[in-house]
Amino acid sequence: MGKAKDIAFYITVCCIAFITSKIIISILLYKRWKRKHLVYEDGFSGGKMVLFKSAIMQQPLSSDVLLKKTLKLSNKDIIGSGGYGTVYRLNINDSVAFAVKRLNRGSAERDRGFERELEAMGDIKHRNIVTLHGYYTAPHYNLLIYELMPNGSLDAVLHGRSMEKKDLDWGSRYRIALGAARGISYLHHDCIPHIIHRDIKSSNILLDQKMEARVSDFGLATLMEPDKTHVSTFPAGTFGYLAPEYFDTGKATAKGDVYSFGVVLLELLTGKKPTDEAFFEEGTKLVTWVKAVVEDKREVHALDSRLKCAPTDEINNAFRIAFMCLEPEPSMRPSMAEIVKMLEQVKSDNL
């Protein structure tokens, strides 16, 4: 009987010690989280704003002013929109501005898109990925507060209205391609768990004040543990950029992002949008047409007419890298880390 009581006593002590340690760890983790975040409650609308502490957030920003300006955003502040939300410009003062993405609630998929962006973006700090500064949650909508990219998207620069278009020389396009590749490579190889973007396209590659590329929009992103090769999911993304195997298998892989990047690289080289049927020849897709033209040694016919005095050898190497990314068989495509190395070799000065 005495032995049974001793065993019971030891078990009780162990259970109490285990629970106590869990509570202490939870408190320490919460305190660490609080040190990295600024939390503002909005009693009026029942919302909560969370800001990640960073250099820009160290400036004297009043929580009341930030909340009031955020809640007063209207149609006149819209700078972009898409299937997963509307983006507003939020001006705090003459020197501080943000891009705010509004995601209306009401469906599981919309809420999941918000959660995906938080999961993927919460701790990422990389020069070629748009910085997430915080978020706001309310009963009927969620807001994501991003770093503002003053030069808009690559899509707008290449194909937008005349006021948005810019004449990008080869050097600028090369730097954009290399920057985007570095950002995607970071997601694939340096993040734990790895991040598969699933919607790489020119409208999701934003340009900062120096025309450097920043990968954005993680509403379709999925996380993948290092020991896995794919994640089973429903087909998502933009037609024209999606890898062909995605429609057959429904499996998201890093090589699917590689294919999408290859389409963007072709877009930079040809100036043509892969989702626009006006640029298809005799019913064939842009990728098929460009391959045929380049293989026939007629690259000049596929090259964007706005690219003047571009070095032939560098252009041909860029086409070669794009076609490697666009291999029909996923296993034949290089990894994003390998693509970065190949692009760095295109120019000897590694712009």
Q: Mind giving me the DSSP string for 81-105?
A: EETTEEEEEEE-SSS-EEEEEEEE-
Domain residue ranges of the chain, discontinuous segments joined by +: 48-147, 152-349
Q: Where are the beta strands (DSSP E) in the chain?
A: 37-42, 47-52, 78-82, 85-91, 97-104, 132-137, 141-147, 194-196, 205-207, 213-215, 222-224, 231-232, 251-252
d(CA 310, CA 171) in angstroms, rounded, equals 9
Yes or no: say if 17 and 98 are a contact pair by the CB < 8 Å rule: no
- The pLDDT tens digits along the chain (351 residues) read 566 666 666 667 666 765 665 565 444 444 444 444 455 555 456 677 777 765 555 554 555 677 778 878 888 988 887 656 788 998 887 777 888 888 877 666 666 767 777 766 767 788 999 988 888 888 888 888 888 898 989 999 998 775 556 778 999 999 999 999 999 999 999 887 888 888 899 999 999 999 999 998 877 777 765 545 444 455 566 777 888 887 776 677 889 999 999 999 999 999 988 876 555 554 457 777 788 887 777 777 788 888 878 888 899 899 999 999 999 899 999 999 999 999 999 875 444
- Residue 101 marked ligand-binding: yes
* 109 three-state secondary structure: helix
| Amino acid present at 48 | K
pLDDT score, position 153: 92
d(CA 136, CA 31) in angstroms, rounded, equals 20
**What's the CA angle centered on 203, arms 133 and 144, to 5 degrees?**
20
Q: Is the CATH code 1.10.3720.10 the one for domain 152-349?
A: no
Q: What count of residues does the chain have?
A: 351
Yes or no: say if 143 and 228 are a contact pair by the CB < 8 Å rule: no
* Residues with catalytic function: 199
| Fold of the domain built from segment(s) 48-147 | Phosphorylase Kinase; domain 1 (3.30.200)
pLDDT score, position 139: 80
